[in-house]
Amino acid sequence: MSTAFIFPGQGSQAVGMGKALAEAFPAAREVFTEVDAALGEHLTRIMWEGPLEDLTLTANAQPALMATSLAALRVLEVEAGLDLARDAAFVAGHSLGEYSALAAAGALSVTDAARLLRIRGRAMQDAVPVGVGAMAALLGLDYDQAVAVAAEAAGDDVCEAANDNATGQVVVSGHRVAVERALEIAKAKGASRAILLPVSAPFHCRLMEPAAEIMAAALADATVNAPCVPLVSNVRASPVTDPVEIVRLLVEQVTGTVRWRESVIYMAGAGVRKTVEVGAGKVLSGLSRRIVKEIAATAVGTPEDVAAFIAAKAAPAA
């Protein structure tokens, strides 16, 4: 069975994430220690003790989610004998999860991924003054309908499709006044729900151009290797392995649409029948099943999940 390993994005964070892994497995503790050292602070203290408001800050949430994903992956490597080069057809990650995916596949070191995500989080937060931007989920409209709603709502402002998460689940992003117009237009066009999201900035739209410039400079100073398994890019919804192209796409991703629905469809079309979500939460697992019902989706983020993964791996094929 062809398998893709997928890595969650912002919104999956929770106080306590990764703590049980660190307590149970030395391999997980090593990752968290490395991330703390890379950032020069005890990010793990915020992760495990809170408060949630501090963990949710973009500059903390992004490296924290990556740390949890890589800790879980390292445990699978040590305890379950996982070898991505052998066991994965693709890796993919939602927004910041691309950095986790690249670190998992050896394209980035954990240290570089942590530092880049701290820079990325701060740059994205600082790109737009607080209160000027917003994001909203439009439910019950397909991607083309959501794009049309965003275009109609924009006027002289910015309103764009930011995340194509699943069939009937598209997020728009831009100036708050335009996003609020999009809510009303979407409802008039038959959306089942249209709701503002509790985010601190309008991610994945043109308003993030200052952050994209900062990331271009930061990535130019980072070492990016070819991953051991192809990355299905958010921007292209197709595989990439060339380090120069990976860097270009990571910069473009800051302002570009996260094409998650198309990415899952691509992987399924390429033979993937199972996804393993590595890290905090199970958001992407739910989306995978919604996008392609035939996909078997599992998640690994706790010691119990590790045990279940090992048991499933040991079980005879049906």
Query: Annotated active-site positions, please?
Result: 95, 204
Cα separations in angstroms, 302 against 19, 39, 48, 193: 9, 24, 14, 33
Nearest to 82 by CA among 103, 64, 104: 104
Q: Are residues 104 and 5 in contact, defined by beta-carbon separation less than 8 angstroms?
A: yes
Instruction: Record the tokens describing residue 53, joined without a space.
Output: 């408001």
Q: Are residues 73 and 44 in contact, defined by beta-carbon separation less than 8 angstroms?
A: no
Distance (Å, whole) CA 136 – CA 150? 10
Cα separations in angstroms, 126 against 51, 52, 179, 200: 22, 20, 19, 10
- By DSSP bridging, strand 231-232 and strand 193-196 are unpaired
Distance (Å, whole) CA 126 – CA 129? 7
